[in-house]
């Protein structure tokens, strides 16, 4: 089976590495010639909005997937007219506009923070009154890793936020007082079977995921998250891995957003689960049985951002796994991650402190 991937970043690279032992063949499509996925599979360079080139790329594949949720829906529709496309153009469209995403959550009974659409500065002022402050002004499209958003704590901050993000479709959300950020990764196969991973607890710094601990053991929250995820998967007729990011507010879950792809907060599954998110995504889109999503222990994942630790220092730590994405270092760029699977939460947290030091945190 030949699998095409639109996007050749680290997620595309890790999909190739997970699928090669299963006998899959891959090719990648990306606007950047130096994309790290090109180090492990053939890479075709082209623009995502070049529909002729995208169509030619898809022509000899058995299935095409994405490693970036903002691949244009037009490109996904072009592919879907030629071969299998998972996730579907409909699923990508649902996740690419924060306002549409929030409306979908509401229709499915999934709690969200109070919000309002913003088209001009008057809308922003009215939203701040109706929704309340503090709040977050976000672009409706293309924001990720903390980009495309401004926190507004008082009326004086409205004008500053508008100067930064104005003149594009926006959404204003109330800033929630949450106790934790968690995420649920799930896979759904072509025949509707699902595999739900344990909840993971995430900590962000400067808008970027810094550390993930899994499993986050709370039976009530796990049930809530799995119910919300099951509704989403059915509604979208979804195939592949989907991640939902959530806030824990007064013992309940409030949805933040979804990512229709393998996700940074699921990297712990490579060593920490019976079947990684990457392998289960490939199994799902290829029409193969899903693997177990059970945790093998208590895992920690630490992102390496901006610079890499010395390889020698990492590999001197027994049981620590280094994942180097093969990217050129620059500030704020995800360059790799470290993982460790412990027998107990206490052991995991002890090792996590060492890994954070290695990562310069």
Nearest to 73 by CA among 48, 52, 104: 48
Considering the domain architecture, whether residues 187 and 303 belong to the same structural domain is answered as: yes
Residue 103 in any domain: the answer is no
Residue 184 in any domain: the answer is yes
> Which stretch of 16-25, 141-150, 191-200, 214-223 has the lowest confidence by average pLDDT?
141-150
Number of separate domains in the chain: 3
The Cα 208–Cα 99 span in angstroms is 22
Domain-terminating residue out of 32, 64, 85: 85
The Cα 103–Cα 152 span in angstroms is 23
Residue 92 in any domain: the answer is no
Residue 215 in any domain: the answer is yes
Residue 128 in any domain: the answer is yes
Considering the domain architecture, whether residues 191 and 136 belong to the same structural domain is answered as: no
Domain-terminating residue out of 37, 64, 85: 85
Of 83-87, 154-158, 207-211, give the range with the top mean pLDDT. 83-87
Rounded mean pLDDT, 168-187: 96
Asked if residue 211 has pLDDT above 80, the reply is yes
- What stretch of H or E contains 81? none
The predicted-structure confidence for 86-135, as pLDDT tens digits, reads as follows 999 999 999 999 999 999 999 999 999 999 999 999 999 999 999 999 99
Considering the domain architecture, whether residues 24 and 66 belong to the same structural domain is answered as: yes
Domain-terminating residue out of 159, 174, 189: 174
Q: What is the CATH number of the domain that holds 17?
A: 3.40.50.20
Residue 296 in any domain: the answer is yes
Rounded mean pLDDT, 13-37: 98
Phi, psi of 282 (to 5 degrees): -70, -40
Residue 91 in any domain: the answer is no
Which residue segment(s) compose the domain that 48 sits in? 2-85
Q: How confident is the model at residue 146 (pLDDT cuts 50, 70, 90)?
A: low
Considering the domain architecture, whether residues 188 and 322 belong to the same structural domain is answered as: yes
> Which stretch of 46-50, 151-155, 223-227 has the lowest confidence by average pLDDT?
151-155
Residue 105 in any domain: the answer is no
Considering the domain architecture, whether residues 189 and 162 belong to the same structural domain is answered as: no
Q: Where are the beta strands (DSSP E) in the chain?
A: 2-6, 25-30, 43-45, 63-66, 84-85, 115-118, 135-139, 149-152, 170-174, 180-188, 194-196, 200-205, 208-214, 240-249, 252-259, 298-305, 321-324, 334-342
Considering the domain architecture, whether residues 76 and 153 belong to the same structural domain is answered as: no
Supply 203's token pair: 């900590």
Provide the phi-psi class of 210: left if phi over 0, else alpha when psi is between -120 and 50, else beta.
alpha
Contacts 24+ apart (CB under 8 A), 232-238: 232/104, 232/108, 232/110, 232/258, 233/186, 233/188, 233/194, 235/104, 235/108, 236/87, 236/88, 236/90, 236/91, 236/94, 237/88, 237/90, 238/87, 238/88, 238/91, 238/188
Asked if residue 145 has pLDDT above 70, the reply is no
The predicted-structure confidence for 276-308, as pLDDT tens digits, reads as follows 999 999 999 999 999 999 999 999 999 999 999
Supply 294's token pair: 């059970």
Q: What is the CATH number of the domain that holds 345?
A: 3.30.470.20
The predicted pLDDT at position 206 comes to: 83
The predicted pLDDT at position 264 comes to: 97
Q: In this prediction, what percent of the chain has a pLDDT beyond 70?
A: 99
Report the interhelical angle of 89-96 vs 73-80 (nearest 10°): 170
Considering the domain architecture, whether residues 196 and 341 belong to the same structural domain is answered as: yes
Considering the domain architecture, whether residues 288 and 152 belong to the same structural domain is answered as: no
Considering the domain architecture, whether residues 350 and 217 belong to the same structural domain is answered as: yes
Q: What is the CATH number of the domain that holds 149?
A: 3.30.1490.20
Burial 196-206 (b: 16+ CB within 10 A, else e): bbbbbbbeeee
Supply 81's token pair: 């007219």
Considering the domain architecture, whether residues 217 and 239 belong to the same structural domain is answered as: yes
Considering the domain architecture, whether residues 207 and 285 belong to the same structural domain is answered as: yes
Q: How far, in Å, are 71, 100, 296, 348 from residue 353 at the CA level? A: 36, 39, 21, 9
Mean pLDDT score across all residues of the chain:
96
The predicted-structure confidence for 312-353, as pLDDT tens digits, reads as follows 999 999 999 999 999 999 999 999 999 999 999 999 999 999
Considering the domain architecture, whether residues 267 and 347 belong to the same structural domain is answered as: yes
Asked if residue 143 has pLDDT above 70, the reply is no
- What stretch of H or E contains 145? none
């Amino acid at each position: 089976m030949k699998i095409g991937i639109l996007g050749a970043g680290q997620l595309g690279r890790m999909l190739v590495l997970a699928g090669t032992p299963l006998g899959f063949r891959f090719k990648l499509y990306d606007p950047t010639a130096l994309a790290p996925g090109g180090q492990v599979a053939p890479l075709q360079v082209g623009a995502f909005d070049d529909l002729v080139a995208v169509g030619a790329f898809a022509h000899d594949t058995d299935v095409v997937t994405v490693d970036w949720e903002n691949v244009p829906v037009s490109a996904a529709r072009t592919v879907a007219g030629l071969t299998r496309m998972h996730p579907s153009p409909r699923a990508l469209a649902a996740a690419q506009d924060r306002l549409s995403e929030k409306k979908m959550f509401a229709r499915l009974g999934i709690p969200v923070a109070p919000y309002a659409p913003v088209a001009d500065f008057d809308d922003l002022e009215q939203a701040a009154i109706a929704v309340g402050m503090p709040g977050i002004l976000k672009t409706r499209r293309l924001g990720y890793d903390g980009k495309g958003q401004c926190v507004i704590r008082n009326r004086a901050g409205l004008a500053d936020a508008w100067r930064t993000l104005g003149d594009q479709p926006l959404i204003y959300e109330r800033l929630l007082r949450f106790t934790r950020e968690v995420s649920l990764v799930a896979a759904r196969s072509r025949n509707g079977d699902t595999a739900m991973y344990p909840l993971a607890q995430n900590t962000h710094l400067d808008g970027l995921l810094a550390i993930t601990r899994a499993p986050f053991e709370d039976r009530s929250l796990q049930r809530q998250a799995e119910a919300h995820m099951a509704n989403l998967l059915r509604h979208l007729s979804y195939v592949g891995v989907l991640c939902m990011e959530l806030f824990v507010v007064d013992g309940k879950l409030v949805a933040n957003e979804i990512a229709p792809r393998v996700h940074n907060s699921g990297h712990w599954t490579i060593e920490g689960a019976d079947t990684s998110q990457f392998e289960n995504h490939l199994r799902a889109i290829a029409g193969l049985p899903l693997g177990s999503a059970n945790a093998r222990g208590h895992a920690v994942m630490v992102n390496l951002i901006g610079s890499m630790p010395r390889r020698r220092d990492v590999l001197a730590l027994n049981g620590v796994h280094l994942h180097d994405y093969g990217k050129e270092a620059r500030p704020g760029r995800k360059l790799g991650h470290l993982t460790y699977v412990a027998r107990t939460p206490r052991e995991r947290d002890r090792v996590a402190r060492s890994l954070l030091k290695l990562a310069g945190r």
